[in-house]
Amino acid sequence: MDNQPIISQLTLEKALHGHFGHEATDGQQKLFYAFTRFILSEKPRCALLVRGYAGTGKTTSVGAMVNTLSEFGINYVLLAPTGRAARVLTNYSGRQAKTIHKHIYYSKRSRTGEGLYELKENRLTRTIFFVDEASMIGHHGAENYHDLLDDLIAHVYSGEDCKLVFIGDNAQLPPVGAAQSPALQIEHLRSSYYLHIAEIELSEVIRQAEGSGILDNATNLRRQISAEEKTLPRLDVGGYRDIV
């Protein structure tokens, strides 16, 4: 917004905690602090990478971010790689989300009648783009296909003073044919796209008290991945109501 009032970092943090509605963990407090600095930053090509395990309050945190931006009249766009992921993002944010493809491309026909996709120019200004389930964003596509990560970043930063938030989970499967998810690799994003980017990872699982065997086992598996242990994981299936 051209006449956007000056907002202090303290005011933004207070609003984030208010919209969050729970006592924030240390990781969530660091996320809110980083998000306010990100919002107020005047650096070009500014980005934020938010990674979080299942059960760490990642979705609730993102909902608080979106509601805070709405409160202060800051523009934002919610995107996800698939229609299902966009519906999930819509449900937990309470705001309409679109697929990346629908937002950044327009379709046209070639002279032979073949359907083609062209990258749109970003006509938005001072807008925060949230991209959920970023682990699924493909890179270096096959011949005649668009590189979705390249095109997403090109689209966002073709707008004036626009910023980008990647949200994802390293333990999710990467795109087909990739060993890692390129949109969640901060050094790749920084060096390949010249982004001023910060990274926050939420690792404190806050739903453990519910006694979920699925969540307990998933958390143990994540720890094993982080520690780069090579042995097969042992699953604990006893005494849980959600495992039969």
64: number of Cβ within 10 Å: 25
Model pTM above 0.95? no
Cβ–Cβ < 8 Å for 175, 136: yes
Predicted confidence at residue 123, as pLDDT, reads: 96
Q: Note the pLDDT of residue 142.
A: 47
State percent of the chain over pLDDT 70: 91
Low-confidence ranges of the chain (pLDDT < 70): 1-5, 109-111, 113-115, 140-145, 207-210
| pLDDT given for residue 225 in this prediction | 77
Can you give the pLDDT at residue 203?
84
pLDDT for the residue 35: 97
- Spatial contact of 43 and 163, defined as CB atoms under 8 Å apart: no
Instruction: List helix spans (H) across the chain.
Output: 9-20, 26-40, 58-71, 83-93, 100-104, 148-157, 186-193, 213-226
Bridge partner residues of 47 (DSSP):
164, 197
> What confidence score (pLDDT) does residue 134 get?
95
The residues facing 119 across adjacent strands are 105
Q: Which two tokens stand for residue 59?
A: 């979705």
* CB contact at 8 A, 60 and 20: yes
> What is the sign of the dihedral through the CA atoms of 33, 61, 139 and 120?
negative
